[in-house]
Amino acid sequence: MKELNTIWMNGKLVPWNEARIHVLSHVLHYGSSFFEGIRSYNTEKGPAVLALTEHMERLVHSAKIYRTDSPYSVEELNRAAIETIRSNNLKACYIRPLLYRGFGELGVNPLTCPVDALIAVWEWGAYLGEESLKNGVDVHVSSWTRITSNTVPGLSKAGGGYLNAQLAKIDAIQNGYADAIMLDQHQMVSEGSGANLFFVKGDTLYTPGIGSSILIGITRNIVLRIAADLGYKVVETSIPRGFIHTADEIFYTGTAIEVTPIRSVDKVKVGNGSFPVTLKIQEKFFDITRRGNDPYNLLTFF
Ligand code: PMP
């Protein structure tokens, strides 16, 4: 990672190399953090953050599930994110806000520790490489089950929950795949290690619903709107594993991964190997993020 100027910590911009926390911070021992991944794009109409408010609202909700009140409002977090990007002279970048339980006591109980906040930004290109956006990626069905609603709720983007995602990601990479399709506790399709899933069959798009242990992806919500506006039928439902092998197309959505086609699952080609619907949706997504056309009012220009 390239070193930059500053990181925003508890309301102040701190020099990059001085942005430190105590080793006995609760978060380091018990995974008690809540985070977001947001992108800003250097669109043809100027630099802009995509879905800034939606992301900050999800951050506050992720924390709320764990009885953690954000010390900053969504509006304050929005302003701080823009301030941090400006301070680092970036246009297109990745934005990482984090709320975490800091230095206090070191029992399991987080409630006795302060809630600290930081926002860091850095330069980041295509998550799985520029080529993957065009040609798709090869994935497998993970042997790891996605975290469940009554263990570590996947609706919260909590640091600790990403131990589960790490197991899936490591396993995928070590077996030669770009990423994984994770199943939920009922063996229904859930999502990738850090992305939601869509299936195309004829003129209908299927995606796992909120009962399938998913994180409610902001890109997922954007794609649901794009697909409906393009005239596709969209169905949010539980999806059995076998559906993977009868779908015409499958794709991932996420802030990092954007809209990425899946070329094969467990070495079996998806559909006939082409993905025209995925590319059509991807094109509409790029119309917002690359060209700065904003039909859904999602861009914050800065
Ligand atoms: N699921 C998980 C587990 C994720 O980490 C992400 C990335 N935030 C997503 C789905 C996609 O969400 P979004 O489109 O909001 O980035």
Q: Which residues pair with 188 in a beta bridge?
A: 240
**Planar angle of CA 85, 86, 89, nearest 5 degrees:** 90
What is the reported pLDDT for 128?
Answer: 76
H or E stretch covering 47:
strand 46-50
Domains along the chain with CATH numbers? 6-122 (3.30.470.10), 130-289 (3.20.10.10)
What is the reported pLDDT for 126?
Answer: 72
Question: Is there an atom of ligand 1 within 6 Å of 159 CB?
Answer: no
Question: Is there an atom of ligand 1 within 6 Å of 191 CB?
Answer: yes
What is the reported pLDDT for 119?
Answer: 98
Among 220, 185, 216, residue whose Cα is nearest residue 199: 220
Provide the annotated active-site residues. Answer: 157
What spacing in Å lies between the alpha carbon of 245 and ligand 1's midpoint? Answer: 24
What spacing in Å lies between the alpha carbon of 104 and ligand 1's midpoint? Answer: 30
| Token pair recorded at residue 8 | 């925003």
pTM above 0.85, yes or no: yes
- Beta strands 179-183; 137-145: pairing state: parallel
From the first residue on, what is the mean pLDDT of each consecutive set of 10 residues in the chain (302 residues)? 95 98 98 98 97 98 98 98 98 97 97 98 83 97 97 97 98 98 98 98 98 98 98 98 98 97 98 98 98 98 98
Question: Is there an atom of ligand 1 within 6 Å of 215 CB?
Answer: yes
Question: Is there an atom of ligand 1 within 6 Å of 292 CB?
Answer: no
Q: CA 141 to CA 162: how far, in whole Å?
A: 18
One-character DSSP codes across 67-126: T---SS-HHHHHHHHHHHHHHTT-SSEEEEEEEEE-SS--SS-GGGS-EEEEEEEE----
What spacing in Å lies between the alpha carbon of 220 and ligand 1's midpoint? Answer: 8
What is the reported pLDDT for 124?
Answer: 85
What is the reported pLDDT for 1?
Answer: 85
What is the reported pLDDT for 151?
Answer: 97
C-beta neighbour count of 126 within 10 angstroms: 14
One-character DSSP codes across 131-193: HHHHH-EEEEEEEEEPP-TTTS-TTS-BGGGHHHHHHHHHHHHHTT-SEEEEE-TTSBEEE-S
